[in-house]
């Protein structure tokens, strides 16, 4: 499995607010064997620290967790509500044990898994070749050898700080049977969200305002112009003479629109081959996180997490749109690792010079990993040669 399979989900007409376009995804047949609930933590000023083992921690803004329940009874098992605003100016940190942890302590605990939505995906991106150089070449500093890429950090915006998003989500009309949506900002896909059951979606829809979004999404929302609303137009060509003809023409318009907004606009997300890493197995369901190929082709690339059934169909999905700088960092780390972190061989593989590769490493924010005395000497040698 290398691609996201949205079999069973249908597209419904979008709703527009300014530069935000929300495209509903509806299931004709809801998934009954898996349910998602929300576990609320503190208010939107809180952070979370997760122990990953190996003396490594992941720290981020963590307003809530999701609880996957595959017991089959569909009973409610999570806390609801939240606390916003107020409080002291300090930022409290809630400590979590693992990003995904089996729930124990009650009769249904063996069928429940708590995980931190989006943070599984973000931690996977931050951990990309986190250990640093696999071979101790002279060009790498002692920090790179001893600590790898630690500390590694990426910036993101909470949904309530993305212009127009809060209003769009507030006035959004939830369709019957809706189990997800595609979120576009300036008609560029910002995120995808899918859950197994419509009742889950109605509860979890407000959590989109607390999700994390990349700086590219924030820029598009801040500087982008309002996007046009969809208007279905049926031309009178003389072939529409009965209500059945009119109904057929209307359905053709719906199919055309669904193909445009549900397939063509999300083509990069759906056609990209991902690297899937299984995080947890839940009987016949699997929780994965995914990484894109980090190709420098200008296409959209997302990281994310999803739950699939035994046929590979997506029951839960949450994605995070990477910026061009984040794609560049992932691409650079991949090529360095492929060449055993040898700068000369990596430069050859990228079709560039040693000095240009050093500039790229510095531009990606990894300059502290370099032994600049040795690097400067190598640059002089290559220029003289």
Write down the pLDDT at residue 102: 85
Number of H helices and E strands in the chain, helices first, is 11, 18
Contact present, 7 and 25 (Cβ < 8 Å):
no
Query: Which residue, chain included where needed, has tokens 């409080």?
Result: 87
Distances (CA, A) of 365 to 108, 325, 351, 358, 371: 46, 10, 21, 11, 14
The packing angle between helices 324-338 and 343-350, to 10°, is 120
Return d(Cα 122, Cα 59) in angstroms, integer: 11
**Cα–Cα distance for residue pair 274/290, rounded to 1 Å:** 6
Angle between helices 354-363 and 324-338 (to 10 degrees): 130
User: What's the pLDDT at 55?
Assistant: 77
Q: What is the pTM of this model?
A: 0.87
Residue 317: Cβ-neighbour burial (10 angstroms; 0-12, 13-18, 19+): buried
The tens place of each residue's pLDDT in the chain, 385 residues long, gives: 689 999 999 988 889 999 999 999 999 899 989 999 998 876 544 678 888 877 788 998 888 899 999 987 655 444 344 333 333 334 455 667 678 888 775 555 578 999 999 999 999 999 999 999 999 899 999 989 888 998 899 999 999 999 999 999 999 999 999 999 999 999 999 999 999 999 999 999 999 999 999 999 999 999 988 998 777 677 766 677 788 888 887 777 777 766 666 666 788 899 999 999 999 999 999 999 999 999 988 889 999 999 999 999 999 999 999 999 999 999 999 999 999 999 999 999 999 999 999 999 999 999 999 999 999 999 998 877 6
- CA separation for the pair 157, 218 (Å, rounded): 7
Q: Do 104 and 257 contact (CB within 8 A), yes or no? A: no
Strand partners, 24: 181
């Amino acid at each position: 499995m290398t691609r996201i399979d949205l079999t069973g989900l249908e597209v419904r007409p979008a709703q527009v607010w300014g530069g935000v376009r929300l495209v509903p995804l509806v299931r004709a047949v809801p998934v009954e064997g898996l349910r998602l609930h929300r576990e609320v933590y503190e208010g939107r000023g809180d952070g979370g620290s997760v122990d990953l083992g190996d003396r490594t921690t992941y720290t981020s803004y963590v307003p809530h967790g999701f609880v996957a329940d595959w017991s089959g009874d569909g009973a409610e098992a999570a806390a609801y509500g939240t606390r916003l605003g107020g409080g002291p100016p300090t930022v409290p940190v809630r400590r979590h044990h693992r990003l995904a942890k089996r729930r124990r302590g009650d009769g249904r605990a063996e069928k429940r898994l708590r995980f931190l939505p989006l943070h599984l995906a973000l931690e996977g991106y931050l951990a990309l070749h986190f250990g640093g150089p696999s071979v101790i070449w002279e060009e790498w500093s002692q920090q790179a050898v001893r600590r790898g890429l630690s500390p590694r950090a990426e910036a993101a915006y909470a949904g309530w700080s993305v212009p127009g998003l809060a209003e769009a989500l507030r006035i959004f009309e939830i369709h019957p049977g809706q189990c997800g949506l595609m979120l576009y900002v300036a008609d560029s896909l910002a995120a995808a969200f899918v859950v197994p059951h419509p009742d889950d979606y109605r509860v979890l829809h407000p959590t989109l305002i607390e999700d994390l979004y990349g700086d590219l999404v924030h820029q598009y929302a801040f500087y982008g112009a309002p996007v046009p609303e969809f208007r279905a137009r049926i031309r009178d060509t003389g072939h529409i003479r009965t209500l059945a003809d009119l109904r057929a023409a209307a359905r053709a318009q719906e199919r055309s629109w669904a193909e445009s907004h549900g397939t063509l606009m999300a083509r990069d997300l759906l056609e990209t081959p991902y690297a899937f890493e299984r995080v947890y197995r839940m009987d016949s369901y699997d929780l994965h996180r995914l990484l894109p190929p980090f190709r420098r082709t200008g296409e959209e690339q997302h990281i994310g997490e999803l739950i699939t059934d035994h046929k590979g169909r997506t029951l839960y999905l949450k994605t995070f749109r990477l910026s061009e700088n984040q794609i560049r960092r992932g691409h650079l780390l991949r090529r360095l690792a492929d060449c055993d972190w040898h700068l000369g061989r990596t430069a050859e593989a990228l079709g560039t010079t040693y000095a240009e590769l050093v500039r790229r490493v510095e531009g990606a924010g990894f300059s502290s990993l370099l032994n600049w005395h040795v690097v400067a000497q190598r640059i002089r040698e290559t220029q003289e040669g």
